Amino acid sequence: FLVLKAGVKRPPTEIEKEIVALVRDKLGPVAAFKLAITVGRLPKTRSGKILRGTIKKIADGESWTMPATIEDPKALDEIGEALKGRV
């Protein structure tokens, strides 16, 4: 997932493709990085480990529960919406 800086005028899909190509160029095909998704913001918690696990479950279509420490629960819903039709 990536968040673009305010004022970026390029299409997000163009930037996503460019990032995938850049990672593969810099790290090689072993990186297996194939998909970048632009979101408006990323959720914040005191524990990134729990949050990464929750985002993985959302991406994998598994059931998940809202972490108690998340600052804005709507951010995870936005990630779920961004994933629809992309994974």
The domain limits of the chain are 1-38, 43-87
Structure tokens, 84: 């629809």
Residue 14 DSSP SS3: helix
pLDDT of res. 8: 94
36 touches 2 (CB < 8 A): yes
Q: Confirm whether pTM is higher than 0.85.
A: no
Query: What 8-state DSSP symbol labels residue 36?
Result: -
Percent of the residues in the chain that have a pLDDT greater than 70, as a whole number:
98
Does the pLDDT of residue 31 top 80, yes or no?
no
What mean pLDDT comes out for the span 37-63? 87
